[in-house]
Amino acid sequence: MKTYLRIWFNTDGERSTEVNDRLLSMGFSPQTGIYDYVYDWGNEEVSTEKALIMADRIHSTLGGCGIYFGLETVEE
């Protein structure tokens, strides 16, 4: 399973390099294309509850950065 993350920056928010550092510390990897980052769960079974906990972690990690984000968790 993988969780894909899109982020939208605010010019009054944190610098993109700081946001990148925070997401890397969570285990996300940057990528190009439709999504900006991906989190690889490996073979772990991801329930709705786990996906929501991940969203809460992102919310806490990026709090105060002026970032909007969207997630999509899919089985690959």
- Over residues 21-32, the pLDDT tens digits come to 999 999 999 999
CATH number of the domain residue 29 falls in: 3.30.70
Helices 48-61, 16-25: axis angle to 10 degrees equals 140
- Over residues 2-44, the pLDDT tens digits come to 999 999 999 999 999 999 999 999 999 999 999 999 999 999 8
Q: What is the domain range of residue 67?
A: 2-74
Sheet containing 68-74, strands listed edge to edge, beginning at the edge strand earlier in sequence: 29-30, 37-40, 2-8, 68-74
Whole-prediction pTM: 0.91
Give the chain's domain count.
Answer: 1
- Over residues 51-64, the pLDDT tens digits come to 999 999 999 999 99
For residue 75, pLDDT over 90 is answered with: no
With beta carbons less than 8 A apart as the criterion, state whether 6 and 35 touch. Answer: yes
